[in-house]
Structure 1
Amino acid sequence: MSSMGDAQPGLWTRSRQRVYAEITAVAMELFLTNGFEQTTIDEIVVAAGISRRSFFRYFGTKEDVVLGHFIADGAVIRDQLEQRPDGEGPWTALRGAIFALDEGADDERLLAVSRMMYQTPSLRARSIEKHLHWYDDLVPEVQRRLGGQADSALQARAIVGCIITCLDIAGEAWSVDDGVEPLRNYFDAALDAIRRPLETPAGPSAAPDA
C-alpha cells in the first residue's frame, strides 16, 4: 500500500504536466493566430492566467514553448529504434523509428507549426540546437547495428547527422509546398539523394576524387 508521502510526488508531477500542457496550448493558439514574433510573453501569461514568474518556471524562452518536445522526441525515437528488428540496417531502422513518432499526428496543425518554425529565424536556430541532443539518444543503437566496433562510432554519428538533416530539409520543403504530399515522401526523397551511389561526371573535364 502506498503511503501519503509516496503519492505526493506523483500528484505534483501530474499537476506540473497539466499546467505545462495548458500554457503550451494557450501560447500555441496565440502564435498560430497572431504570429510567433508578434506574440509577447506578457500576452501569453495574461491569456493563461499565470504570472511571468510562473511562465519561466516551465519555459526558459518563448521558443521553448514551440520546441520543448524536441529533446524528448529523441528518447522516443531511440525507444522505437531499439524495438526495430535486428535484421534491419541502421538507415531502414531509423526511418521506421521516426515515422512511428509521427503516427496519429494532426497533419494540418503540424503543417501550420512547421510553417511558423521555418519562417522564424529564432525558432529555426533553436530547433537545430535541440536536434543535436538526438545524437546521444540514437548513436549507441546505430553503432550496435553497425557491429559495435570502435571505428563504427564516427559512421554512426554521420548516419544520425544525415537523418536529422534530411528530416529538417524535408520538413522545410513540405511546408513550402503546403503539404501537397505526405511528409514521409519528402523525407524518403532526401534520404534517397544521400544513399544513392554518387555518379562520376563523364568527360575529360571531370576531376578525380581527392
Structure 2
Amino acid sequence: MGLRERTRQAVRADIAATAMRLFLERGFDAVTMEQIATEAGISRRSLFRYFATKEDIALGDVAERGARIQELLEARPASEGPWEALRAALQTVVEEGEFTPEWARKTSEMFHGTPSLRARQMEKQSRWHGQLVPDVERRLGVAPGSVTDPRATAIVASALACLDAAVEAWIKDGGARPVEEFYDRAVAAVRG
C-alpha cells in the first residue's frame, strides 16, 4: 500500500473516530455532516470525498469485517463443522476489535436504536452471505454455488440472525454478560 492510500486510510479513521465520539455524545440524529467536518478540521466538501453519508461513517468497517470473517473462516481447519468454524471466526473478529466493552455496548445501542443506521447495517451485513456461503458449502461437501442445496445459505443466514439476536439481548442485558454467551444460546435454540 502506497503512502497516498495509507494517508487516505488514516484520514478516514480520524474522521470516523471524531464522528463516533460526536454520535455517542449527542446522539446520531443530532449530529450533522457540517459538525463532523468542523470537529475533524476539514471542509464539508472534503468530508464528502471520504464519506457520502453519516451512516457510511458509522458503519464504514462493516464490509471490511465481512471480508475478515471470510478470511478467518477459510483459515479454520477443514475438519471443523460449519457452525463451529463460523463461531470461531466471529469470536476472533470480536477479540481483534480495538474497543472497550462499554464502547461496543454504546455503539451497538446506537446502531439498534437508530432506524436509518439499523437498515444500513443490515444492508451491509447482507453482503456477508455471499462471502461466507462458499466455505460453508465446502465444509458440507456441497458443490460450489449449488442452487439445489440450500443448507449452506440457511446456516449462514441463521448464524448471522443469531449474531443479531445475541447483540440485541446483550444490549438489553446492559453488557453484563459476554455477547458470546447470548450467541451460543441463540445458536443452540436454532440447532435444537
TM-score, normalised on structure 2?
0.94
Q: Which amino acid aligns with 2:123?
A: E
Q: Which has the larger radius of gyration?
A: 1
Aligned to 1:112: 106
Following TM superposition, by how much is the alpha carbon of 1:27 offset from its aligned partner in structure 2, in angstroms?
Answer: 0.5
Which runs of 5 or more residues in structure 2 are unaligned? none
Percent sequence identity is: 48
Aligned to 1:53: 45
> Which residue of the other structure, out of 190, 198, 201, is the alignment partner of 2:186?
190
> Which residue of the other structure, out of 136, 144, 152, is the alignment partner of 2:130?
136
Structure 1 position 173 matched with structure 2 position 169:
yes
Structure 1 position 17 matched with structure 2 position 13:
no
Whole-angstrom distance in 2 between the partners of 1:83 and 1:161: 20
Structure 1 pair 42–151 and aligned structure 2 pair: CA distance change class (3 A): closer
Contact 1:143–1:152 (8 Å) recurs in 2: no
Aligned to 2:58: 66
Which whole-Å deviations, capped at 9, do the CAs of 1:175-206 have from their partners, x for residues lacking one?
A: 1111110000011111111000xxxxxxxxxx
> Which residue of the other structure, out of 103, 118, 121, is the alignment partner of 2:115?
121
Which whole-Å deviations, capped at 9, do the CAs of 1:146-199 have from their partners, x for residues lacking one?
A: 103336752111111111111111111111111110000011111111000xxx
Structure 1 position 27 matched with structure 2 position 23:
no
Whichever structure has more helix as a proportion of its residues is 2
Following TM superposition, by how much is the alpha carbon of 1:112 offset from its aligned partner in structure 2, in angstroms?
Answer: 0.8
> Which residue of the other structure, out of 159, 162, 187, is the alignment partner of 2:158?
162
Following TM superposition, by how much is the alpha carbon of 1:59 offset from its aligned partner in structure 2, in angstroms?
Answer: 1.2
Q: Secondary structure at the match of 2:91?
A: helix
Q: Secondary structure at the match of 2:150?
A: helix
Following TM superposition, by how much is the alpha carbon of 1:124 offset from its aligned partner in structure 2, in angstroms?
Answer: 0.8
TM-score, normalised on structure 1?
0.86
Whole-angstrom distance in 2 between the partners of 1:188 and 1:153: 25
Q: Secondary structure at the match of 1:133?
A: helix
The 10-residue stretch of structure 1 (80-89 or 145-154) with the greater mean CA deviation from structure 2? 145-154
Contact 1:146–1:152 (8 Å) recurs in 2: no
Name the count of aligned residue pairs: 188
Whole-angstrom distance in 2 between the partners of 1:157 and 1:13: 35
